[in-house]
A and B are shown apart, each in its own frame.
Chain A
Amino acid sequence: MSPVIEITDLSKAFGAVRALDHLDLTVERGEVHGFLGPNGAGKTTTLRVLLGLLRADGGAVRILDSDPWRDVATLHRRLAYVPGDVALWPNLTGGEVIDLLGRLRGGVDRTRRDALLERFDLDPTKKGRAYSKGNRQKVALVAALASDAELLLLDEPTSGLDPLMEEVFRQVVAERKAEGATMLLSSHILSEAEALSDRVSIIRHGRVVESGTLAQLRHLTRTAITVDVVTVPAGLADVPGVHDVRVEPHGTGARVTCEVDSDALPTLVDALAGAGVHGLTSAPPTLEELFLRHYSDDLAGVR
C-alpha cells in the first residue's frame, strides 16, 4: 500500500527566502506522524503545499494518491485541516461555521458533532468575534474531527487549549486513530507529539533532518543515570559513551550522576558491577532533549 503522504525533494521559496529546501517526508497509512520544528522551520508551508494552497517550486508531492495542486475537490473530500491560526467570521456563530465546513465536505454527522461540542465544552451559539483564541481553535477542531476524513492535517492543533482540553484532544485523536485515520500533527510542543505520535519527523530550515519512530530516534539521545554506590569505580569518566560524570558524597558512599549514550548503557552497567550499587534511577530521553540536540547550534548561535 502506498504511503498516504509522500513528499520528495520539495522546495518552495518566497522571494529570496527558501521556506522549504529539498524536504522529504513520508506518512504511512494509519499512523499519527509528529511533525516537529521550531517556529519558522517550514511546517505550515509544508501543510499548505499539501493542501494545494501553495504551489511547489520543485519536487514531487503525492497525497492520498493525488496531486494536491490539481485534484483539489476530490482530494479535499477525503481530508480535514485545522489551521494553526483559526480566523472566524465575526458575525457567524461557531455552530454555523462547523456546519458550513461540514457541508462543504459533503455532510455533517450530527451525532458526532454534538458529542464533540459536549466533550470540548464549546458553546456553538456564540458569534465568531466573541470567541477567545482557545475557543476559535475548538471550533476548527470540532469541524475537522467531526468529519469522517481519512487524513487529518493538524497545524499546532492544541495552541490556546487548556491542559484539560488538551487531554480531550488526545483522547479524540486516539479514537480517530483506532478508526483508521491517518494524522499529520505539526507541533513545537514536544510532549504532545511524544504522547500521540507513532513516528516523528524533525524539520529545520525547511528540511527534514530526522525521521523515524521514537525508539529509533532515541538512539540519538542520552539517558540520564543517577546511581548511589559504596565505592566509585575508577576510570568511569573514561568509559566510551559516558558523559558529564559528577561525583558527590552521599551518606557513607557517593552519588554518581552521568549521561550515557543509549548504546553505551551495557558498558556502564558492567563498569558499575563491583561498586556496591544500592540505588539507581534512570530517566529515559525525552523529545525535548532530542530536540535540543538538533537545535543546540542554533541556541549556541543565539547565546
Chain B
Amino acid sequence: MATTTLTRRTATVAAPVARFTGTGHLVRLALRRDRVLVPIWLGVFVMSAAGSAGATVGLYPTEASRVSVAATINGNPSFAALYGPILDPTSMGQVSLFKMSAMGAALVGLLAVFLVARHTRAEEETGRTELLGAGVVGRWAPLSAALIVVAGALVVLALLTAAGLVGAGLDAVGSLSFGLSWLVTGLAFTGIAAVAAQVASTSRGTKGLAAGVLGLAYLVRAVADGSPNGDLVGLRWLSPVGWSQEVHAFSNPRWMVVGLAVVFAAAMVALAYALVDRRDLGAGLLPDRAGTATAPRNLSGPFGLVARLNRGFLVGWALGAALLSMVMGGLVANIGGFVDENSRPFFEALGGQQGLEDAFMAAEWSLIGVFFAAFAVATLLRLRGEESAGRAEGLLASPLTRWGWASAHLTAALGGAVALLVVAGVFGAFSTARATGDDAWWGKVAGAAGVQFPAIAVLAGLTLVAIAFIPRWAVGVSWGLFTAFFLLGEIGPLLELPTWMLDLSPFAHTPKVPGEVVSAAQLGGLVAVAVALVAIGLVGYRRRDLEA
C-alpha cells in the first residue's frame, strides 16, 4: 500500500475539478454504509435534547422560578465548570437545556470526529480507498465525500434538534439557535478531524488526536466558566466547544458565531486538502521510520503484545487524566468564593464549605468514573478488533489459548482503568490538598477513586459478553450500553424516569464519595455482577468459532 509512491505536488495534479471526480458516487456509498448508524445517533441526540427540555418546561413556569433555580445552578462552580453557566436566567430554554449545551455540543463534536475518521482514514487503512482510488476517483474525492456526508448529517441533526425542542414546547427562534449552537461545535470538529486524518496514519490515531483536541477544548471552556468571578471567561473564545455557548441560544442569539464556525471549518478543510496533496496514499504526514529488526524482550507473551498495542492509548488517557484532575482539584479550593448571597441558604443546607467541597469532589469523580469506563470499553474492544482484522487467527494458531488472549485484553482494560484512577487520584489529591492546605483530601480522593472501579468492571464484563456472544454487533452494543448508562445518569433524573430504570446503570450504584456512606453490599454486588459477566464472557469466547 505505502510502497506505491505517488507523491505529487499541487502544481502537477490535474485541474481542480478533476480532483473531485467521483465524489457523488462516494457520497452515495457513505450514505448507504451509514444508513443505520447515523439515524440512530441522530435519534439519540434529538431525543436527549427534546426529553430534557420536555421534562423541565413544566417545572419552572414562571420567570421568577427560573431565575431562582438558575441562581442555584450558577452559584455552584462545579456545575459552571462541568456544564457551563446559565447565561440568561430568565430564559426557559437556557434553564431547561443547561446540561445539554456545552456537554451536548462536545458530544456532537465527538460524533463528527468518529464519522470523519470512519469515512477517511479507516477506509484508507483497510485499503478500500486504494480499491476505489484506482477507479475514476479524484484525489480529493474521498475526503470531500466524507465531509459532505458528515456536514450534512450535522445540519440535519441541528434542524431535527430544533424541531424536537419546538415540539417540547420551546420557542422556534430559540430552538433553532440551540440546534445551530450544536452545529457550531460539530462543524469545527469536522474540520479538525479532517486535518487529524491526514496527520495520523491510522483511524485510531485520527480519533485519538481529534478527541484529544476536543478534550482540551472542553477543558479550556471549563477553566473559563469555572474561573472565580468570571475573570477568564474570554478564554471561551479559544475553544470550539465554548463557541457553542457563545451562540447564546434561547437568549439573544448571535448568529455570527455560526459564521465563525463555518470559516474555521473551511480553513481546516483547506489545510486538509493541502495535506492530501502532499502525502502518499496510506501514509500519514510523518514518514514511517524503520523499527527494530528483533522484538524487544518485553514483547513476548500475550500480555506483552497487548501492553504494546495499548501503550500509546493509555499514555494519552493518563496525560489527560493528570491534566484534568490538576485543574479540577484546584477548583475545589475556590468553591466557597463562588457562592453568592442568593444561594447562601442552599449552600448552608448542603453542609457549608465542607459539604459543598465534598459534593463537588464526588460529582467530579462520578464523571471521571464514567470516562474511565469508556477507556475500559475501548481497550477491551480491541479483542474483537484483532479478530475482525484477521490478526487473531495467526496468534490463536500458536500455543496461545483463547482464555490467555482474552485475559490479556481484560487485564489491559481493567489494569489500565486502575492505573488511570491512580493517576487521577494522585494528581487530584495533590492539587486539592495543596490548594486547600488540608491533607485530609488524600484519603477522601483515594476513596472517591476506589469506589469507581466496580462499575467500570461491570461495563468491561458487559463488553466481554458482547464480544463472546454477538461478535459482529459487539462494538455497537458496547458503546450503545455505555451511552445509555451515561444518559440515564445525566438526564434520567431530569426525565423523572422510574427508579428501577435508573438503577439499570451500574454507575447508579457507585456511592457518591466523599460525603456518602459506602455500602459494602452495594460495591460487593457490583463486583459480583462484574465477576459473573467476565466468567460468562470467557466461557462464551472459548466456545465459539473465531470469526473472520
Instruction: Count contacts between A and B, CB distance < 8 Å.
Output: 124
CB contact list, B268-305 vs A, under 8 A:
282, 288, 290-296, 299-302, 304-305
Q: How far is the CA of A124 from the CA of B1 in the complex (A)?
A: 17
Q: Is the CB of A124 within 8 A of B401?
A: no
Cβ of B402 and Cβ of A104 under 8 Å apart?
no
Q: Is the CB of B293 within 8 A of A93?
A: yes
Question: Quick one: which of A202-232 are within 8 Å of B by CB?
Answer: none
Residues of B within 8 A of A80 (CB): 397
Assembly CA distance A96 to B298 (angstroms): 11
Whether, in the assembled complex, A140 has its beta carbon less than 8 Å from a beta carbon of chain B, the answer is yes
Whether A53 pairs with B309 at a CB distance below 8 angstroms is: no
Report the Cα distance A54→B393, complex, angstroms: 11
Q: What B residues does A55 contact at CB under 8 A?
A: 543-545
Of the listed residues B3, B309, B397, B545, the one surrounded by the most CB atoms of chain A closer than 10 A to its CB is: B397
Does A62 have its Cβ within 8 Å of any Cβ on chain B?
no
Give Cα A86 to B392, complex, Å. 11
Closest B residue to A113 using CB positions: B294
Asked if A85 contacts B390 (CB within 8 A), the reply is: yes
The interface on chain B, measured as residues whose beta carbon lies within 8 A of the other chain's beta carbons, has a size of: 40
Residue B263 lies at the interface, judged by CB distance under 8 Å to chain A: no
CB atoms of A93 and B291 under 8 A apart: yes
Contact B398 A76 (CB under 8 A): yes
**Contact among B291, B390, B401 for A125, CB-based, below 8 A:** B291
- Check B505 for interface membership: any CB of A closer than 8 A: no
Say what secondary structure dominates the interface of chain B: loop
Q: Does A280 sit within 8 A of B, measured CB to CB?
A: no
When chains A and B are docked, how far (Å) is the Cα of A88 from the Cα of B401? 19
Confirm or deny: B389 has a beta carbon within 8 angstroms of a beta carbon on chain A: yes
CB within 8 Å of B: which A68-93 residues: 72-74, 76-77, 79-81, 83, 85-93
Q: Is A294 an interface residue (CB 8 A)?
A: no
The reply on A271 being an interface residue by CB < 8 A is no
Q: Are A106 and B399 in contact (CB under 8 A)?
A: yes
Within 8 A of A (CB), among B386-443: 389-391, 393-402
Report if B202 contacts A (CB, 8 A). Answer: yes
Cα distance A80–B394 in the bound complex, in angstroms: 9
- Interface size for chain A: under 10, 10 to 19, 20 to 34, or 35 or more residues? 35 or more
B402 → A minimal CB distance (Å) = 7
Tell which of A127-135, A187-195, A239-247, A251-259 binds the partner.
Answer: A127-135
Determine if B3 and A72 form an interchain contact, defined as CB atoms under 8 angstroms apart: no
Are A126 and B290 within 8 A (Cβ)?
yes
B513-548 vs A, Cβ < 8 Å mask (1 yes, 0 no): 000000000000000000000000000000111100
**CB distance B2 to A129 under 8 Å?**
yes
Report B90 CB to chain A, min CB distance, Å.
54
B299 and A125 contact, CB distance less than 8 A: no
- Residues A76 and B391 in contact in the complex (CB < 8 Å), given A100-B305, A104-B301: no
Q: Which residue of A lies closest to B388 (CB)?
A: A87
> In the assembled complex, how far is the CB of residue B289 from the closest CB belonging to chain A, in whole angstroms?
8
Closest to B204 in A: A90
Q: Are B545 and A73 in contact (CB under 8 A)?
A: no
Q: Known contacts being A77-B399, A103-B300, A127-B288, is A89 close to B309, with CB within 8 Å?
A: yes
Interface residues in A45-80 by Cβ distance below 8 A to B read 48, 51-55, 72-74, 76-77, 79-80
Out of A53, A99, A106, A130, name the residue touching B295 (CB < 8 Å): A99
Provide a sorted-by-A list of 5 A–B residue pairs whose CB atoms are within 8 angstroms: A73-B401, A95-B292, A100-B305, A103-B295, A105-B399
Q: A81-B394, A95-B294, A129-B1 are in contact. List 5 more A-B contacts (CB 8 A).
A: A53-B545, A55-B544, A87-B389, A93-B290, A103-B300
Q: Could you list which residues of chain B lie within 8 angstroms of chain A, going by C-beta atoms? A: 1-3, 125, 201-202, 282, 288, 290-296, 299-302, 304-305, 308-309, 389-391, 393-402, 543-546
Minimum-distance CB pairs A-B, first 6: A99-B295, A93-B291, A87-B390, A81-B397, A104-B398, A125-B290
Interface residues of A (CB under 8 A from B): 48, 51-55, 72-74, 76-77, 79-81, 83, 85-93, 95-101, 103-106, 123-127, 129-132, 140, 153
